[in-house]
Structure 1
């Protein structure tokens, strides 16, 4: 019987001292190193040269932390223990300016403005990701992923999934007659958003104009170009302006309403605009039936313009 009670005592002792009953004691340290890793499964093929990370503390008067990490994979950063919200985006785009860096909800990416008017430069593809709740503790990290799932990691690893924040616009003019008379051509998207709020991925504003130079395929009767910018905040009244400078020194302009193509695009990250069956004017356009701002507008939709349309982009 004594031996039996001895076994019971040993079992109770082991149960009392097992890991499940121990209080976890974390090392006391104000600053902790965490590792932010980027998984590019939402943006296959992306390989930015570097990423910029902003950590906004929960306290309004606390310091905002910024880190620049080279390469697309992420890396270690050091933060004081506390609560944060994080924004990260690629840092290799000269066509982008960052504003609102004082808060998580205000930080925005903006296309650089041209020398005049509402023209903006092509931004290049912007990628971004956020962590809305991040707790840095002496024992590791606790954070909410993009699906709202709370994750904890004793190794202090935060995994993020950047996605496209900008839109790649592909412009295709097919079955173009009279292309042999064209010396150069420019396409301008009117009604674009000049910027986007990174945290909630909402485009800001309308009315920006995004120009791009067209390349010719004379044998195939096609003109193509590509530009990257921000999807319109309000996809209504979006127009594509085609400006052609002909070999005879005359310049013509034609506007196309592309609202329906924008709204019906299956993706907001990759939009293809197609204009089919157009004819470049041979000489003066048809007799004008209206006059707008000193520009004769012919019944065939072409305008003969005599102004300098050059735009110096930043």
Structure 2
């Protein structure tokens, strides 16, 4: 479902020779008069490493009209204008090529990714692409009149307050909403005979509700690549939407597939459910696997050992 299809306002604070504001639309309806100006200030808190190429700011009329969208480059916002009225609000980084945005009957926006294949059938159910890094925030109410700006603080916080701001400044609290998983596999015997390898992590959420920062109930598996980090070790780092809203029924298994130089495919399955669900930081999960015995196969490229350039399994987007 296409979002933001009709009229929205695009604000570009860039060096391009463009007017400061412009109205972009695909029908003949003119832009509504946006006569009340206010500022947006992003409070990134302790997330000083956040580096989005740009952020999108969407305001949804409570009357159900098309949303207003503003885009600023980088991690900071600025001054915008809207018509008087009440809105709900979401923001997210707009440099997300792998993310699909879909909406439901309540006009909530979900971030998800496409189905993928990996060149063979792992017999593990639905596979989804790993998401891009995402930062977001949301507010259930932004009320604007010529004399005052009222808004509720972040929907992602445990405590939500109503702010009255006569200075016409809205403070947001964007935060990381996808989880970074780091995997280290030590002491792999006969690694030099591996032609290519692939990993899968099962039991991950298929998406996230940007209005509420709640994870989808649907569980999928995320493919990830592996690279050699030492003579007998491999590693991987990839992003997921984290655990589903109700994760209890779906285990979190890491499946590893090694294709040897003699053509044999070796599979290993490691149950990481307890380790993942008890992680001290669910947005930065570190996993370790120690000791894998692979059958002997002739080293790749004679006796030179593992060749990172060998063509292996690749993740392919499936378009329906």
Common topology (TM > 0.5): yes
| 1:39 aligns to 2:43 (yes or no) | yes
2: CA distance, partners of 1:129 / 1:222 = 38
1: CA distance, partners of 2:82 / 2:48 = 30
Q: Does the aligned pair in 1 maintain the 2:62–2:86 contact within 8 Å?
A: yes
Aligned partner of 2:3 in structure 1 is none
1: CA distance, partners of 2:214 / 2:263 = 43
Whose helix proportion is higher, 1 or 2? 1
| 1:91 aligns to 2:84 (yes or no) | no
Q: Does the aligned pair in 1 maintain the 2:39–2:170 contact within 8 Å?
A: yes
Runs of 4+ aligned structure 1 residues displaced above 4 Å come to: 101-104
Aligned partner of 1:224 in structure 2 is 235
Q: Does the aligned pair in 1 maintain the 2:198–2:313 contact within 8 Å?
A: no
Q: Does the aligned pair in 2 maintain the 1:42–1:162 contact within 8 Å?
A: no
Query: Mind listing any 5+ residue stretches in structure 1 that lack a counterpart?
Result: 1-28, 284-307
Aligned partner of 1:71 in structure 2 is 74
Shift, 1:241, TM fit: 0.6
Query: Mind listing any 5+ residue stretches in structure 2 that lack a counterpart?
Result: 1-32, 119-124, 298-311
Structure of greater Rg: 1
TM-score, with structure 1 as normaliser: 0.76
Q: Which moved more, 1:49-58 or 1:114-123?
A: 114-123
TM-score, with structure 2 as normaliser: 0.75
1:1-314 superposed matches below 5 A: 31-59=35-63, 61-100=64-103, 103=106, 106-114=108-116, 118-146=126-154, 147-219=159-231, 221-233=232-244, 234=247, 236-282=250-296, 311-313=315-317
Q: 1:79-123: CA deviations, max 9, x gaps?
A: 11111110101110111111117755x211112322587222221
1: CA distance, partners of 2:100 / 2:38 = 27
Q: Does the aligned pair in 2 maintain the 1:197–1:204 contact within 8 Å?
A: yes
Report the 3-state secondary structure (helix = DSSP H, G, I; strand = E; otherwise coil) of the residue aligned with 2:149.
strand
Report the 3-state secondary structure (helix = DSSP H, G, I; strand = E; otherwise coil) of the residue aligned with 1:74.
coil
Q: Which moved more, 1:240-249 or 1:146-155?
A: 146-155
Q: Does the aligned pair in 1 maintain the 2:142–2:150 contact within 8 Å?
A: yes
Shift, 1:189, TM fit: 0.8
Change (3 A) 1:102 1:66: farther
Report how many residues are paired. 259
Q: Which moved more, 1:114-123 or 1:251-260?
A: 114-123
